[in-house]
């Protein structure tokens, strides 16, 4: 893949926004590894419902907090929907296992990707998009102290991951999740400069700590309609998460909940 500088990426993404939304590979990616148009057509750009944190019609830069619930997004998700988000990948072992599981149950998910790992596992990221899943920016190196970093570093962490994902997949991420859920207004503003909405979560089983399959299962089963669920496919052994989801997904479906991407 030929190397593109960040300015070229951003200018090209802006010019090809409509094509990206339709799943097309923009001109600047032709001749690279991302020459196959993803089968999954990206959703139209989301807007945000008004809530006490901000007024209706304000630009993204004016948001004062990330999104925790599907019902805060437009177009509206089905009233019985939940969203499964999966962080810290791609991982060469656990991401394929996660993708196989989701394919088995027909569940779309939103993967929050770390930029350095996107560069290391480009074909895995391309598979993720081709399988119909959504991509989210999760910074270049996953710094848990992101709000305390210098402004230039924050911009590079957010913008750098955004550009790497776009280069590899042909899909500009529409969402950003800060590592550890650590937020500041500056982080939200920088994400907005890249046309990304900040997302958090409602249900956190703390699977990253490997508390045991039953504990992860019990915590995820507390999900209610509109909740955003947090799981992980990177950062270590995720066998407990895989086993838990094998129980949780059919159980939530049996309760009448529908899984959607953000």
223 domain residue, yes or no: yes
Residue 138: per-residue pLDDT: 98
Residue 64: per-residue pLDDT: 64
Residue 113: per-residue pLDDT: 98
9 domain residue, yes or no: no
State the greatest distance between any 2 C-alpha atoms of the chain, in Å, as a whole number.
48
CB neighbours (10 Å) of residue 98? Answer: 27
Indicate which residue of 72, 87, 137, 233 is catalytic: 87
Residue 232 known to be catalytic:
yes
Residue 136: per-residue pLDDT: 98
3-state class (DSSP) for residue 110: strand
Segments of the chain scoring below 70 in pLDDT:
1-64
3-state class (DSSP) for residue 157: helix
DSSP code for 14? H
60 domain residue, yes or no: no
- The pLDDT tens digits of the residues spanning 92-143 come to 999 999 999 999 999 999 999 999 999 999 999 999 999 999 999 999 999 9
83 domain residue, yes or no: yes
Task: Using CB atoms within 10 Å of the CB of residue 102, give its burial: 0 to 12 exposed, 13 to 18 middle, 19+ buried.
Answer: buried
Residue 49: per-residue pLDDT: 42
65 domain residue, yes or no: no
User: What is the reported pTM?
Assistant: 0.78
From CA 220, how far away is CA 248, in angstroms rounded? 7
Question: What is the domain extent for residue 78?
Answer: 71-259
Residue 147, both tokens: 């709000």
CATH of the domain at 116: 3.20.20.370
Residue 144, both tokens: 């848990």
96 domain residue, yes or no: yes
Number of domains into which the chain is organized = 1
Task: Using CB atoms within 10 Å of the CB of residue 248, give its burial: 0 to 12 exposed, 13 to 18 middle, 19+ buried.
Answer: buried
Instruction: Please give the torsion angle defined by the CA atoms of residues 47, 51, 57 and 58, in that order, rounded to the nearest 10 degrees.
Output: -100
Indicate which residue of 72, 133, 232, 233 is catalytic: 232
168 domain residue, yes or no: yes
What are the E-state strand segments in the chain? 47-48, 73-74, 81-89, 110-113, 134-137, 175-176, 197-198, 228-232, 258-259
Compute CA distances 199 → 152, 156, 178, whole Å. 22, 19, 8
Compute CA distances 251 → 60, 245, 255, 259, whole Å. 36, 9, 7, 12
49 domain residue, yes or no: no
């Amino acid at each position: 893949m030929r190397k593109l500088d960040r300015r070229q990426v951003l200018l090209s993404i802006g010019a090809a926004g409509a094509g990206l939304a339709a799943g097309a590979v923009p001109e600047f990616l032709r001749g690279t590894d991302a020459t196959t148009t993803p089968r999954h057509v990206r959703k139209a750009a989301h807007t945000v419902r008004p809530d006490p944190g901000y007024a209706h019609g304000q630009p993204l830069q004016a948001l004062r907090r990330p999104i925790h619930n599907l019902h805060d997004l437009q177009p509206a998700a089905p009233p019985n929907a939940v969203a499964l988000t999966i962080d810290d990948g791609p991982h060469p072992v656990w991401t394929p296992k996660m993708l196989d599981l989701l394919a088995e149950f027909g569940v779309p998910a939103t993967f929050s990707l770390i930029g350095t790992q996107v560069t290391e596992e480009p074909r895995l990221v391309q598979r993720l998009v081709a399988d119909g899943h959504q991509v989210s920016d999760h910074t270049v190196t996953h710094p848990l102290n992101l709000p305390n970093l210098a402004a230039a570093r924050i911009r590079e962490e957010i913008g750098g991951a955004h550009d790497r994902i776009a280069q590899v997949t042909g899909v500009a991420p529409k969402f950003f999740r800060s590592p550890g859920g650590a937020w500041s207004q500056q982080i939200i503003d920088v994400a907005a400069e890249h046309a990304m909405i900040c997302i958090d979560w409602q249900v956190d089983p703390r699977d990253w700590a490997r508390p045991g399959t039953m504990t992860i299962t019990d915590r995820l089963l507390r999900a209610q309609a509109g909740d955003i669920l947090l799981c992980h496919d990177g950062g270590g052994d995720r066998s407990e998460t895989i086993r838990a989801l094998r129980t949780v997904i059919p159980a939530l479906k049996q309760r009448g909940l529908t899984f959607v991407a953000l």
